[in-house]
């Protein structure tokens, strides 16, 4: 169905039913024809989201098929021009088709889809057919960094960069931890920002030389600037000294004008303060009015110092920008060198190991897509998509969109419907590559305005009235405030030319929030509650911090909510970072036992922290045991084992000093002590089960969930990695440790989580206690910006440069990049606020920091400044208490339970028991080898092989072929084959044996006799001649009575089968020894 | 017991062929079915009989050909040779290997589906070819394939050209390969199938054959069976149910429906399709579990409950494991009472510790580098792995311990062979560079033998691993011996071959095939029926398993030529699933709910299908976690007599003395002090990553000591450092650092120090800093060196009196003491974040204070030691050389007290002693205990945070 605006862009907002919308559009298409779903591709980001979307579509279909009427059903009747009955029939058909052609039901994640494409093209893009994707980038880094280090002695430049790197860190007062630091830096390599430039950065000798040249030029420039000012500084100081004065004799002493010379001398090139600037105009400002040396100073200043200062300042002003630029570029140039080298090493790694790194996938895909046209891709894959629906579009990265673009355009060219859904306001994953500009602008440019139809989803189905209203107001105004503030900031420091360039970007901030105001669904208005309270930051030296206040506030709110009948599990506390999370967890944990705790309130919390496996004794204990088993010299690990076992697991009262100083084994179960030397040799999953049994860890009821999750971690590990303890412990330290346990949704506990993690979730009551985060990047992080280099000399030597985000960059020639990043950082933080505040359904409770008295009007340093400026305009804001409220706290008394998920069951026990006595492995080794128990020598046992061959052939002529075949199957080596041959031929020299293989009898080899309702018998060899039967059984080893009985048993069987003359032989192959059995 | 499919087959065979059972051949899809069949049959007879011949279809087919099936590695090498005969630029074996495996699979399929290579591997270059090439296909298939090739016209894109380049030689490659194989009398199974199928008329021996339980047949199989049906009146038993057979939408029945339409096969279908599925009312439980282990544990509980309720009938129960790796969790979770088991899977070699040792050894080989073509150097990582591996470490604890320590200390990336040999045969054997494919095999076999001899106790299973590895290396050696020369195997390829061979090897279990609880993979369940079916991993990607595309033949081409695609694979799984449950009456399904860690959390489509279509009641549950974990118990050590006795060892007449860092430790955390100085639990310094900082400090100190030592002691002994000395001092920086390194590594002075990697960087960084220190000293010179690092390693001492008259032994090593113009400086070098602002002096001993200045306290302490020895007649000035400040233009070493330089410490001393006294009193106070610090930040890097659980 050709469409004039086939590309639908849904701009959603919080709670506006995004998944519903995408499911709806999906169904509109899918219901158009029985198998039409095969032509629709719907993608989203996480597996979880994809699962949800699938569920949604299937549930709708099931409901339709069951004839349930719903608004959606009605909408579809209109869209498909048919009645409900017809939809019901259609839905049933489509549903069954989907269920039985499920692999073609393409609702998936972006990554899965792209992998599928790549897989079809492995050979063509020069990947190995095996196509191993290296997921573990950390391991890769360790290896390439080692490689790099190993090559240092032959690479002077590389060494220099590393030295610079180490020096820089020491100068920053950081500790000399080398490898980890480089690893941190090297992670850049996997980021899109760097990768986008990578093609220009690949390490060739040419690049290296320009790097060096640039470094030289920059250093020259920096030196020149520094020397000039230092010289002036020194000159000034020597004049002062020559006149018998010191800086303290001048106005304001150390903080006055004369000290400027000192500053220059010691290399402080910051912008001179107001006192200095004033003094440059006015000799009178050089001395304090009461100074006895007034006249001398005045004369000195007038004749020498003032002109000198002016000269210095003039130079400073003229050169500062280019100096700043040079030093900013210079500062991180070594990272460039290092990364450049690491890039080369990574390329080598890929080739050597024949893998591609997971981070390479988008680029590979790009190559495929660029090299072939869309229909061909589909031909090879077997799916041909007419429609592409993309969810969470604000999180899409540039690479990802670039890869979708041709597919989408191909579809649009046939007039087919496509859509994207996203919310710029909820774009908080820029650091992971999400580029919300795509949704805001880029897409419409890429597919052409004419094709696009924009729709806003503006009904909020999640939050109740007051919450919606509050957010409507807040997020209509704050973006504008933020824009104006940033505009002012930029205006202050930047050139006029820049200002206009930034104008557009500033508008984006506002534009992102256009249409933010949401409606409530008609007919169903529900009362909600918003409370916003500001508290002052305590004075310096106070015995509590603002964070303490926030914590107290949160505890208080939790109590109030409970007193109004609300349940803990409906409460979420959102925080900015894990530090705050920790604080809350600790505080609630302590408060629970404190006297102030209210008797009728609960204080249970769960947080990502609490879910870490390491919180459980059993897990810590296991790890300690592992450490100890891995290295039995680890005294501390052993102490930990013993302590954990006795005190936390058994909860014994023991004399601690004894415990730590005595022979520690006394405190452990005998079984463990006895087997400690072999335990390390068990496969690691087995080991955990053995330990569970030895230490009876399954008795530790409260921790079973952790034990289970720990075993899952082990299982995952042993599936993919090496099976020894050392490797496991390394993995645990790097990754495993961060594993968490999943809790039931219904657990009655407050959820504490970061705003980032809360995206996509909703809660009845939301608390935001720490509403005071920075709007700008945190200075501690070294945010490296990769930017295009400047076109002017000498910067044109390189295409791109790494820079560190700092205000110094704002006064360099890179100020545009700086402000660009600054704007983005600010909008990220505003978006976080949006995400946080829109999680609430009923009660939204906020604790923000009141701005200090000294804050400059309009300055937005913290997110709370922004909220403050807005809420101040509200009529209901109480200036006295600094509290703003709307509505009344919503109460939920028991019995109003609405959502009910699946029935939950719990394990009553944790089963672990030995299996080795129930099940034996097939002992092949014993047959094949002679295990000389005393000599401990491994020798191949030819007997067993001979047995095998002799039972297999019927006639001695078949011997060679049979041995050959055994060899062909690679069961034996060629030398074994020869030995075997001669061994058997030797046997044939025995007349009796020979006669069995001479064709005289009818031969049945490895023949099965079915006894009446009993155990099936397989006989090695039976020779038949009329009513006569000969049973032959081959044996290795020494004659045993048992063997005899066995053959007698066989003989009885044959007699029952009416053979009249049955005889049996046992052949012991070493020897050979032939025994006839009667 | 109810009828099962196999008992029905047995009944039919018995009825038709008795008493001539031994002349019948019964063909099943797998062996297991045959076993059960025999059991049923044995229940029908009244005296012993020769059993019918029972074969799998594969055995049945292979028997008919003289060709021998070659092992996969031989085939790959053969394919490689065939491939390169048709390549203009020959490919290396390395690059070919994986892709070759894929191609081999394609050829297998081609043959099994009787597709002509010449017709398939045809490249289309123009419209005319496109129109004419596929005349033999029907319209629909022709369309499919034409649409594929149409996109190549008029011009092929780069990736299409790349595709064509390989595509067009595949037909000649096929012919070359099959010809050469046949000449050698070997083949891959597909090839034999094609041979047998196309000549079945001649090959068939006219036996009495019964085919039972087949579903998805390859074209070749179909042809063969049809021949027997038509020409030899073979019987066919289909294992099916009306539920999916008659419902056109059920993919499970799609193959059978096709056969039922076939003119020959249709006669073999019964008039009335059996319908057990709906007849047996089924109790169905579906339980969602986060991840995997919980599924096994839940099954353990389910079975346990059944046992308790006396409802457990092991013979009628099957546990199906679509994911093999769940076998061990499951085995360990079965209650004690389950004593008999039959498991169709085995113990994966890959998960054994021996495997990881072999991997490490191979890694060692692949990273071995030659220096000047003779000296062998090994990468430290595999070396460490090998030495700390349980098989090695526990056999030679002393040797490995020693080696490990040196390696960890040395920061070396490459380690010379000579350093690793020790006096140990096994080490000598392992740490040697080996070249060449067969040589690696010998090398590994020898190591295995040695290992075995060195083990004091060999566990039962270990023997089996040893045996398997032994076999593998022998096998590899045989094959490589034949092909090594032409292919020039590199160690990385060798590793791949090794992995390839090992990957699939499992040590089989010996069980009771017909008794006890049955535990199986999905494929093994074919034709078997149980009343109670328990299945794990009921997730997409597991059941059905993910489609392994791994083919060079594009989807649409496969489709047109009727080579199976993922749809067929899905249909096969679907059949396996429905067939297994058709006669069952209780079904317990478990599935994972978490899409993480490479697991798929989506529930299997079959559950959704049952839910929507079966009409049975399905109980869906979620296994949830309820957790209550207790906080770790606090640790407090009371000073009982034993503790006090240890403490008294630090009194002046005892053996130990406290250093300032002991006191700082005490102030940081009393318990930490206890662990280290009373319980004496030491951390082995093996934490590679944290070594750098400590090493940096250590070496810097030594180097500074050496440089002045050299001047003041070695030459003409004198104490004054003159400005003119500096020329010489600067030029001896390098030597000093070298000596410091040498010292650090305990290298004898005649051994040459070779720096590399990180040490090289450290060397240069150190140079920079030392130069800066000397520059400062140069400005300060002339001055007199009084003592370096405490004069001797003994350092300074003091016996500090307690109130009760006992004296506490204190000691300290002062980095440097110098004197100039009556000012004695007590100096410390620091390379961290230390602050020269002493802050509040009271806070020196205040453990609560966040601003406690440890470095300043330490300098005060040193000053005290100095005064104790030399008196306080002179001005004594403490100072800190902060590395991070050295590069600042206004560098200064003075401590600062309230913004003013602290030029003389004497006035401060009294207070300091007093406060120190208070501290020492507390340490010796019986009533005070060693408790944990309240400030958990301090625990982050504490060695004991494992014990305290504060990591
Ligand atoms: S972990 Fe913390 S409490 Fe325990 S000893 Fe170390 S510093 Fe003290």
Closest approach atom of ligand 1 to CA B939: 2
Atom of ligand 1 nearest to the CA of B933: 3
Q: Determine the residue among B47, B87, B314, B627 to mutate to test chain A binding: the one whose Cβ has the most chain A Cβ atoms within 10 Å.
A: B627
Tokens of B36: 């059960």
Mind listing the pLDDT tens digit for each residue in A507-561? 888 889 988 888 888 767 789 999 999 999 998 777 888 999 999 999 999 999 9
Q: Give the pLDDT of residue B570.
A: 93
CB B534, CB B588: distance < 8 Å: yes
Whether the per-residue pLDDT at B486 is higher than 80: the answer is no
More confident residue, A1015 or B198: B198
| B353/A180 touch (CB, cutoff 8 Å), yes or no | no
CB neighbourhood size of A976 (10 A): 19
Ranges A644-658, A895-909, B425-439, B586-600: which has the least confidence: A895-909
Distance (Å, rounded) from C-alpha A852 to C-alpha A540? 13
Exposure on the CB side of residue B943, measured as CA atoms within 13 A: 20
- Closest chain B residue to the Cα of A116, Cα to Cα: B549
Mean of the per-residue pLDDT values of chain A: 86
For the ranges A457-466, B32-41, B386-395, B770-779, the lowest mean pLDDT is seen at B386-395
pLDDT of A34 strictly over 80: yes
What is the distance in angstroms between the Cα of A727 and the nearest Cα belonging to chain B? Answer: 8
Structure tokens at A459: 């009904």
Confidence at B125, pLDDT banded by 50, 70, 90: confident
Task: Specify whether the CB–CB gap between A776 and A826 falls below 8 A.
Answer: yes
Give the separation between CA A356 and CA A114, rounded to whole angstroms.
Answer: 14
pLDDT computed for residue A548 by the predictor = 93
pLDDT digits (tens, 9 = 90+) for A264-322: 888 888 888 888 888 888 888 888 888 888 888 888 888 888 889 899 999 998 999 89
Contacts of A991 (CB under 8 A, 6+ apart): none
**Sign (positive or negative) of CA dihedral B641, B643, B644, B648:** positive
Note the pLDDT of residue B28. 97
How many A from CA of B939 to the centre of ligand 1?
Answer: 5
**Residue B200's pLDDT is what?**
93
pLDDT of the residue at B689 = 45
CB A882 within 8 A of CB A850: yes
Distance from Cα B951 to the centre of ligand 1, integer Å: 9
Task: Looking at mean pLDDT, say which of A547-556, A913-922, B495-504 comes out highest.
Answer: A547-556
**H or E stretch covering A232:** helix A205-242
**Model confidence, pTM:** 0.90
Q: How far A196 CA sits from the closest chain B CA (Å)?
A: 23
Least confident of A929-943, B35-49, B555-569, B879-893: A929-943
Q: Does pLDDT of B691 surpass 70? A: no
What is the distance between the alpha carbons of residues A695 and A602, in angstroms, rounded to a whole number?
Answer: 34
How large is the average pLDDT for residues B1-8?
87
Ligand 1 site, residue B356, Cβ cutoff 6 A: no
Of A62, A375, A636, the CB nearest to B947: A636
Instruction: Give, as one character, the DSSP assignment of residue A304.
Output: I
- The dihedral sign for the CA sequence B715, B716, B718, B724: negative
Q: Report whether pLDDT(A131) > 60.
A: no
Q: Which residues pair with A1018 in a beta bridge?
A: A1008
Structure-block tokens of residue A542: 């106070």
User: Which residues does residue B545 pair with via DSSP β-bridges, in sequence order?
Assistant: B541, B542
Per-residue confidence at B549, pLDDT binned at 50, 70, 90? low
Would you say residue B792 has pLDDT above 80? no
Cβ–ligand 1 contact at B847 (below 6 Å):
no
Q: Which residue has the higher pLDDT, A862 or B628?
A: A862
Instruction: Please compute the mean of the pLDDT values over residues A433-439 and round it to a whole number.
Output: 87
Q: Among the atoms of ligand 1, which is closest to the Cα of residue B942?
A: 6
pLDDT of A223 reads 92
In this prediction, residues A674-700 reach a mean pLDDT of 89
Task: Note whether B632 contacts A637, CB cutoff 8 Å.
Answer: no
A926 pLDDT higher than 70:
no
- Ligand 1 centre distance from Cα of residue B896 (Å): 31
> Distance, in angstroms, between A9 CA and closest chain B CA?
29
Q: How far is B524 from chain A (nearest CA, A)?
A: 18
Asked if A624 lies within 8 A of B946 by C-beta distance, the reply is: yes
Lowest mean pLDDT among A782-791, B27-36, B525-534, B919-928: A782-791
Q: What is the share, in percent, of chain B residues with pLDDT greater than 90?
A: 49
Q: What is the rounded (10 degree) CA torsion for A625, A627, A632, A636?
A: -90
How many Å lie between the centroid of ligand 1 and the Cα of residue B160?
A: 64
Residue A669 has pLDDT above 70, yes or no: yes
Nearest by CB to A706, which of B414, B559, B629?
B629
Shortest Cα distance, chain A CAs vs residue B630, angstroms? 8
The string of pLDDT tens digits covering residues B406-446 is 887 777 788 888 888 777 888 889 999 888 788 999 999 88
Q: Is the pLDDT of residue A936 over 70?
A: no
Work out the average pLDDT over B102-107. 93
- H helical segments located in A354-417: 361-371, 374-381, 398-413
Distance CA B604, CA B539 (A): 4
Closest CA to A352 of B105, B730, B121, B94: B94
pLDDT at A48 over 70: yes
pLDDT at residue A127 in the model:
59
Q: How confident is the model at residue A1015 (pLDDT cuts 50, 70, 90)?
A: confident
For residue A238, the SS3 value is: helix
Mean pLDDT, range A179-189, rounded to an integer: 80
Ligand 1 center to A644 CA (angstroms): 15
Burial of residue A866 (CB within 10 Å: 0-12, 13-18, 19+) is: buried
Can you read off the two tokens belonging to residue A309?
């200062």
| Partners of residue B353 in chain A, C-beta under 8 Å | 680-683, 723-724
Q: Which pLDDT score, from 0 to 100, does residue A608 have?
A: 81
CB B889 within 8 A of CB B775: no
Q: Which residue of B has its CA nearest to A48?
A: B595
| Contact yes or no for A964 and B68 at CB 8 A | yes
**What's the maximum distance between 2 C-alpha atoms anywhere in chain B?**
122
Q: B458 pLDDT exceeds 80?
A: no
Q: Which helix (H) or strand (E) covers residue A573, if one does?
A: strand A571-575
Query: What pLDDT shows up at residue B688?
Result: 45
A 10 A CB-CB count for A663 gives: 6
Write the residue in B151, B622, B635 that is nearest to A379 by C-beta.
B151
Q: What angle do CA B876, B879, B883 make, to 5 degrees?
A: 165
Of residues A702, A911, A1008, nearest to B333 (C-beta): A911
Average pLDDT over residues A718-731: 82
Q: What percent of chain B has pLDDT over 70?
A: 97
Task: Indicate the pLDDT class of residue A147, thresholds 50, 70 and 90.
Answer: confident
All residues of chain A having their beta carbon less than 8 Å from the beta carbon of residue B38 are: 1008, 1010, 1016
Does pLDDT of B235 surpass 80? yes
Strands B900-901 and B896-897: antiparallel
pLDDT of residue A494: 65
* Mean pLDDT to the nearest integer, A761-788: 84
Could you read off the pLDDT of A350-406 as tens digits, one per residue? 777 777 777 777 777 887 887 777 778 888 888 889 999 999 999 998 888 988 998
Does A203 score more than 50 pLDDT?
no
pLDDT band at A866 (very low <50, low <70, confident <90, very high): very high
Average pLDDT, integer, range B140-152? 88
> How confident is residue B670, by pLDDT bands cut at 50, 70 and 90?
very high
Predicted local distance difference test score (pLDDT) of residue A907: 87
pLDDT at B684: 66
Are the CB atoms for A613 and A741 separated by under 8 Å?
A: yes
Exposure string of B727-748, with b = 16+ CB inside 10 Å and e = fewer, is eebeebbeebbbbbbbbbbeee
User: What percent of chain A clears pLDDT 70, i.e. is strictly above it?
Assistant: 94
pLDDT score recorded for residue A898 = 52
pLDDT at position B687 is: 44
Q: pLDDT confidence of A96, banded at 50, 70, 90?
A: very high
Is residue B142 helix, strand or coil? helix
Q: Which two tokens stand for residue B908?
A: 């401060």
Q: What is the pLDDT of residue A923?
A: 66
Task: Give the gap in angstroms from C-alpha B296 to the nearest C-alpha of chain A.
Answer: 9
Alpha-carbon separation of residue B73 from A842, A971, B551 (angstroms): 66, 13, 19
Judged by DSSP in three states, B187 sits in strand
CB spacing of A919 vs B509 below 8 angstroms: yes
Closest partner residue to B554 among A97, A379, A657, by Cβ?
Answer: A379
CB B671 near ligand 1, within 6 Å: yes
Q: Say if residues B363 and B385 touch (Cβ distance below 8 Å).
A: yes
Q: Do B347 and A921 touch (CB under 8 A)?
A: yes
Which residue in the set B300, B554, B601 is minimally distant from A51, CB to CB? B601
Better-scored residue on pLDDT, B411 or B725 = B725
Whether pLDDT at A35 is above 50: yes
From A700, A804, A830, A1044, select the one nearest A324 (Cα to Cα).
A804
Residue whose CA lies nearest to ligand 1 atom number 2? B939
A808-833: per-residue pLDDT in tens?
888 888 888 889 899 999 999 999 99
Residues of A whose CB is below 8 A from B554 = 120, 379-380, 382
Q: Which of B380, B295, B372, B297 is nearest to B334 (CA)?
A: B297
Residues sharing a CB contact under 8 Å with residue B409, sequence separation 6 or more, in sequence order: B685, B691, B744, B745
Burial readout A449-477 (b: 16 or more C-beta within 10 A, e: otherwise) = eebbeeeebebbbbbbbbbbbbbbbbbbb
**How many residues are present in chain A?**
1078
Residues near B925 by beta carbon (within 8 Å), at least 6 away in sequence: B639
What is the per-residue pLDDT for B227? 96
């Amino acid at each position: 169905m050709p469409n004039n605006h086939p590309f639908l862009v849904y701009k959603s907002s919080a709670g506006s039913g995004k998944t519903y919308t995408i499911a709806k559009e999906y169904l509109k298409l899918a219901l158009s024809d029985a198998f039409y779903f095969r032509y629709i591709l719907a993608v989203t980001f996480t597996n979880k989201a994809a699962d949800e979307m699938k569920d949604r579509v299937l549930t709708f279909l099931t409901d339709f098929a069951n004839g349930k009427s719903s608004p959606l059903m009605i909408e579809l009747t209109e869209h498909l021009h048919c009645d409900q009955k017809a939809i019901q029939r259609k839905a049933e058909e489509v549903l069954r088709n989907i269920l039985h052609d499920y692999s073609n039901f393409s609702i998936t994640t972006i990554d899965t889809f792209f992998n599928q494409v790549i897989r079809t093209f492995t050979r063509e893009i020069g990947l190995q057919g095996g196509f191993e994707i290296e997921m573990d980038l950390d391991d890769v880094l360790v290896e390439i960094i080692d490689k790099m280090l190993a090559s240092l002695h032959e690479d002077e430049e590389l060494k220099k960069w590393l030295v610079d790197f180490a020096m820089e860190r020491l100068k920053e007062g950081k500790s000399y931890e080398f490898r980890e630091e480089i690893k941190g830096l090297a992670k850049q390599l996997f980021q899109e920002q760097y990768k986008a430039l990578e093609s220009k950065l690949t390490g060739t000798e040419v690049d290296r030389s320009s790097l060096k040249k640039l470094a030289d030029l920059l250093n020259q420039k920096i030196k020149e600037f520094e020397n000039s000012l230092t010289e002036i500084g020194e000159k000034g100081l020597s004049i002062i000294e020559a006149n018998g004065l010191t800086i303290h004799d001048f106005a304001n002493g150390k903080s006055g004008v004369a000290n400027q010379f000192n500053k220059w001398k010691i290399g402080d090139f910051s912008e001179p303060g107001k006192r200095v600037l004033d003094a440059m105009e006015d000799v009178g400002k050089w001395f304090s009015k009461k100074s006895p040396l007034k006249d001398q100073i005045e004369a000195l200043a007038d004749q020498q110092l003032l002109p000198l200062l002016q000269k210095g300042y003039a130079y400073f002003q003229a050169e500062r920008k280019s100096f700043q630029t040079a030093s900013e570029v210079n500062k991180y140039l070594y990272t460039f060198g290092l990364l450049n080298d690491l890039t080369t090493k990574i390329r080598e790694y890929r080739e050597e190991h024949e893998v591609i790194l997971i981070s390479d996938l988008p680029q590979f895909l790009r190559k495929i897509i660029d090299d072939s046209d869309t229909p061909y891709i589909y031909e090879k894959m077997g799916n041909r998509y007419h429609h592409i629906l993309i969810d969470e579009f604000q999180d899409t990265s540039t690479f990802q969109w670039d890869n979708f673009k041709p597919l989408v355009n191909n579809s649009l060219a046939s007039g087919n419907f496509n859509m994207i859904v996203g919310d710029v306001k909820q774009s908080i994953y820029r650091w992971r590559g999400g580029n919300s500009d795509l949704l805001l602008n880029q897409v419409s440019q890429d597919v052409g305005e004419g094709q696009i139809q924009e729709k806003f989803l503006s009904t909020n189905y999640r939050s109740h009235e007051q919450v919606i209203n509050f957010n409507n107001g807040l997020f209509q105004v704050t973006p504008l405030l933020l824009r104006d503030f940033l505009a002012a900031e930029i205006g202050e420091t930047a050139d006029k030319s820049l200002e206009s360039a930034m104008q557009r970007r500033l508008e984006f901030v506002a534009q992102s929030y256009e249409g933010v105001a949401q409606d409530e669904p008609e007919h169903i208005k529900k009362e909600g509650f918003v409370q916003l309270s500001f508290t002052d930051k305590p004075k310096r030296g106070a015995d509590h911090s603002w964070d303490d206040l926030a914590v107290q506030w949160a505890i208080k709110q939790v109590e109030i909510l409970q007193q109004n009948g609300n349940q803990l599990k409906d409460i979420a506390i959102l925080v900015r970072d894990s530090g705050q999370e920790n604080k809350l967890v600790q505080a609630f944990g302590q408060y629970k036992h404190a006297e102030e705790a209210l008797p009728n309130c609960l204080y249970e919390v769960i947080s990502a922290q609490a879910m870490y496996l390491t919180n459980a004794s059993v897990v810590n204990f296991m790890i300690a045991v592992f450490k100890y088993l891995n290295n039995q010299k680890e005294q501390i690990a052993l102490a930990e084992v013993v302590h954990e076992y006795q005190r936390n697991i058994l909860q014994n009262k023991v004399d601690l000093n004894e415990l730590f100083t005595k022979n520690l084994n006394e405190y452990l179960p005998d079984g463990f002590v006895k087997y400690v030397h072999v335990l390390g040799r068990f496969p690691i999953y087995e080991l955990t089960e053995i330990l569970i049994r030895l230490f009876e860890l399954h008795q530790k009821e409260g921790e079973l969930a952790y034990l289970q999750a720990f075993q899952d971690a082990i299982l995952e590990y042993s599936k993919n990695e090496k099976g020894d303890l050392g490797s496991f412990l390394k993995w645990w330290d790097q990754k495993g440790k961060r594993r968490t346990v999943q809790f039931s949704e219904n657990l009655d506990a407050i959820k504490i989580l970061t705003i980032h993690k809360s995206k996509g979730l909703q809660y009845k009551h939301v608390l935001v206690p720490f509403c005071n985060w920075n709007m700008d990047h945190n200075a501690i992080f070294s945010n490296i910006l990769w930017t295009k280099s400047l076109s002017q000399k000498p910067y044109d030597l390189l295409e791109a440069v790494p820079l560190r985000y700092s205000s110094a960059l704002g006064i360099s020639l890179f100020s545009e990049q700086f402000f660009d990043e600054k704007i983005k950082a600010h909008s990220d933080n505003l978006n976080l606020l949006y995400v946080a505040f829109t999680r609430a359904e009923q009660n939204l409770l906020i604790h923000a920091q009141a701005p200090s008295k000294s804050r400059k009007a309009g300055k937005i340093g913290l997110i709370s400044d922004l909220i403050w400026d807005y809420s101040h305009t509200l009529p209901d804001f109480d200036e006295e208490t600094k509290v703003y409220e709307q509505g009344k706290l919503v109460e939920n008394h028991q019995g109003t339970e609405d959502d009910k998920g699946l029935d939950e069951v719990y394990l009553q026990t944790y089963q672990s028991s030995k299996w080795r006595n129930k099940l034996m492995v097939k002992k092949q080794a014993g047959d094949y080898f002679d295990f000389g128990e005393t000599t401990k020598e491994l020798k191949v046992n030819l007997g067993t092989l001979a047995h095998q061959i002799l039972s297999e052939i019927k006639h001695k002529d078949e011997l060679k072929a049979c041995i050959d075949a055994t060899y062909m199957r690679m069961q034996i080596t060629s030398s074994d084959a020869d030995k075997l041959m001669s061994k058997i031929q030797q046997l044939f020299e025995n007349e009796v044996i020979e006669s069995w293989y001479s064709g005289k009898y009818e031969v049945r080899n490895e023949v099965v006799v079915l006894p009446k309702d009993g155990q099936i018998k397989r006989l090695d060899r039976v020779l038949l001649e009329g009513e006569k039967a000969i049973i032959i059984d081959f044996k290795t080893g020494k004659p045993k009575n048992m063997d005899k009985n066995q053959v007698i048993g066989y003989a009885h069987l044959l007699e029952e089968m009416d053979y009249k003359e049955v005889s049996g032989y046992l052949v012991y192959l070493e020897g050979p020894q032939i025994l006839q059995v009667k | 017991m109810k009828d099962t499919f196999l008992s029905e087959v047995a009944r039919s065979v018995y009825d038709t062929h008795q008493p001539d059972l031994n002349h019948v051949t019964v063909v099943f899809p797998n062996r297991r079915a045959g076993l059960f069949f025999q059991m049923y049959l044995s229940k029908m007879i009244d005296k012993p009989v020769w059993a019918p011949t029972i074969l799998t279809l594969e055995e049945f087919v292979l028997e008919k050909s003289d060709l021998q099936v070659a092992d996969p590695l031989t085939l790959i090498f053969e394919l490689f040779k065939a491939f390169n005969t048709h390549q203009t630029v020959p490919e290396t074996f390395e690059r070919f290997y994986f892709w070759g495996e894929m191609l081999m699979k394609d050829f297998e399929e081609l043959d099994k589906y009787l597709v002509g290579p010449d017709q398939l591997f045809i490249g289309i270059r123009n419209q005319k070819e496109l129109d004419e090439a596929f005349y033999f296909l029907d319209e629909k298939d022709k369309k499919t394939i034409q649409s594929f090739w149409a996109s190549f016209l008029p011009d092929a894109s780069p990736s299409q050209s790349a595709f064509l380049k390989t595509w067009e030689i595949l037909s000649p490659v096929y012919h070359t390969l099959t010809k050469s194989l046949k000449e050698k009398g070997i083949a891959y199974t597909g090839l034999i199938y094609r041979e047998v199928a196309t000549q079945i008329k001649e090959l068939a021996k006219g036996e009495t054959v019964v085919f039972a339980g087949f579903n998805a047949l390859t074209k070749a199989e179909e042809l063969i069976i049809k021949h027997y049906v038509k020409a030899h009146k073979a019987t066919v038993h289909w294992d099916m149910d009306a539920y999916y057979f008659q419902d056109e939408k059920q993919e499970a029945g799609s193959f059978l429906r096709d056969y039922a339409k076939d003119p020959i096969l249709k006669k073999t279908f019964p008039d009335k399709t059996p319908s057990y599925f709906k007849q047996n009312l089924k109790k169905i439980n579906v339980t969602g579990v986060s991840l995997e282990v919980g599924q096994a544990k839940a099954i353990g509980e389910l079975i346990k409950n059944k046992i308790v309720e006396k409802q457990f009938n092991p013979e009628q129960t099957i546990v199906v494991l679509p994911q093999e790796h769940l076998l061990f969790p499951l085995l360990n979770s079965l209650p004690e009472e389950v004593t008999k088991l039959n498991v169709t899977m085995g113990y994966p070699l890959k998960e054994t510790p021996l495997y990881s040792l072999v991997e490490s050894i191979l890694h060692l080989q692949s990273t071995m580098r030659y220096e000047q073509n003779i000296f062998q150097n090994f990468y430290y990582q595999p070396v460490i792995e090998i030495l700390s591996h349980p098989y090695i470490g526990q056999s030679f604890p002393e040797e490995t311990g020693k080696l490990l320590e040196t390696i960890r200390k040395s920061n070396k990336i490459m380690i010379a062979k000579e350093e690793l040999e020790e006096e140990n045969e096994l080490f000598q054997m392992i740490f040697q560079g080996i070249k060449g494919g067969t040589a690696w095999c010998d090398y590994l076999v020898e190591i295995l033998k040695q290992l075995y001899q060195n083990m004091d106790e060999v566990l039962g299973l270990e023997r089996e691993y040893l045996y398997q590895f032994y076999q593998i290396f022998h096998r590899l050696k045989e094959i490589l011996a034949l092909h090594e020369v032409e292919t020039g195997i590199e160690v990385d390829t060798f590793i791949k071959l090794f992995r390839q061979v090992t990957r699939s090897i499992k040590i089989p279990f010996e069980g009771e095939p017909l008794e006890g609880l049955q535990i199986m993979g999905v494929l093994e369940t074919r034709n078997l029926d149980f009343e109670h079916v328990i299945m794990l991993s009921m997730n997409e990607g597991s059941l059905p398993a993910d489609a392994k595309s791994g083919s060079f033949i594009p989807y649409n081409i496969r489709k047109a030529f009727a080579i199976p695609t993922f749809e067929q694979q899905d249909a096969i799984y679907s059949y396996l699933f429905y067939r297994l449950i058709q006669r069952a009456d209780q079904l317990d399904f478990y599935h994972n709910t978490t899409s993480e860690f490479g697991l798929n959390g989506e529930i299997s489509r079959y559950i959704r299908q049952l839910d929507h279509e079966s009409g049975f009641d399905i109980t869906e549950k979620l296994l949830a976690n309820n957790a209550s974990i207790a906080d770790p118990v606090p640790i407090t050590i009371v000073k009982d007599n034993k503790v006090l006795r240890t403490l008294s060892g630090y009194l002046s007449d005892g053996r130990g003395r406290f250093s300032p860092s002991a006191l700082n430790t005490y102030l940081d955390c009393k318990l930490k002090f206890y662990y280290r100085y009373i319980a004496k639990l030491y951390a082995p310094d093996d934490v590679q990553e944290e070594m750098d900082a400590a090493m940096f400090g250590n070496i810097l100190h030594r180097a500074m000591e050496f440089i002045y030592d050299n001047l003041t002691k070695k030459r003409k002994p004198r104490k004054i450092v003159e400005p003119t000395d500096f020329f010489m001092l600067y030029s001896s920086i390098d030597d000093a650092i070298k000596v410091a390194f040498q010292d650090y590594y305990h290298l004898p002075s005649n051994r040459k120090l070779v720096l590399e990697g990180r040490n090289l960087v450290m060397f240069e960084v150190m140079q920079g800093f030392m130069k800066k220190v000397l520059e400062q000293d140069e400005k300060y010179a002339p001055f007199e060196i009084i003592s370096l690092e405490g004069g001797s390693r003994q350092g300074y001492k003091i016996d500090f009196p307690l109130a009760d008259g006992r004296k506490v032994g204190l000691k300290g090593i002062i980095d440097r003491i110098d004197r100039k113009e009556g000012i004695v400086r007590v100096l410390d070098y620091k390379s961290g974040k230390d602050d020269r602002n002493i802050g509040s002096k009271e806070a020196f001993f205040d453990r609560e204070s966040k601003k406690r200045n440890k470095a300043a306290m330490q300098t005060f302490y040193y000053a005290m030691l100095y005064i104790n020895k030399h008196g306080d007649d002179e001005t004594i000035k403490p100072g800190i050389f902060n590395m991070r400040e050295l590069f600042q233009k206004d560098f200064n070493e003075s401590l600062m007290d309230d913004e003013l330089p602290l030029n003389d410490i004497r006035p401060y001393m009294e207070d300091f002693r007093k406060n120190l006294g208070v501290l020492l009193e507390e340490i010796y106070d019986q009533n005070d205990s060693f408790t944990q610090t309240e400030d958990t930040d301090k625990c982050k890097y504490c060695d004991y945070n494992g014990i305290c659980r504060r990591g």
